[in-house]
Amino acid sequence: MVRLGRALFGAVGLSVGLDARAAEPPIIPVNTPYQVVRRLLSSLGFEVEEPRRPRCDEALKHICDAYPEAERCFAAAPARCTFLWRKGQTIIEVRTLGSDELVLERLRCRSGCEEAATPKRR
């Protein structure tokens, strides 16, 4: 696990833009544990973005209680959660799979990303 974390830190460090106003979302491999994703995002200067009205199914309420960045969690198979992170004017969306061990399904721009670099959420 430590080896994976070091490799990810190095790879992610190369893919992040330097402009704080319009940051690019980092490239993180699918199925990376969300705990690793959180540490990577924090180390890259992203901060938790607390949603205005989080929505969580009762079965996954423990996730929304544990992570202030949780925007929504749905228990219907496959269980999915969406988390929000901010860096400057950029907000990224991290979607995970799983109800016990959360793993990255995708990471994409919600708003404020460089136009040419990352497709926006549709």
> CA-CA distance, 39 to 28, in Å (whole number)?
12
8 Å CB contact between 46 and 86: yes
Residue 115: exposed, middle, or buried by beta-carbon count in 10 A (0-12, 13-18, 19+)? exposed
Per domain, the residue ranges of the chain are 2-111
- pLDDT, tens digit, for every residue of 77-122? 999 999 999 999 999 999 999 988 999 999 999 999 875 444 544 4
Instruction: Give the pLDDT of residue 56.
Output: 94
Between 42 and 5, residue with greater pLDDT: 42
pTM equals 0.77
| 24 and 118 Cβ atoms separated by less than 8 Å | yes
Give ∠ CA 92-61-28 in degrees, rounded to 5: 30
Nearest Cα neighbor of 110 from 74, 79, 69 is 69
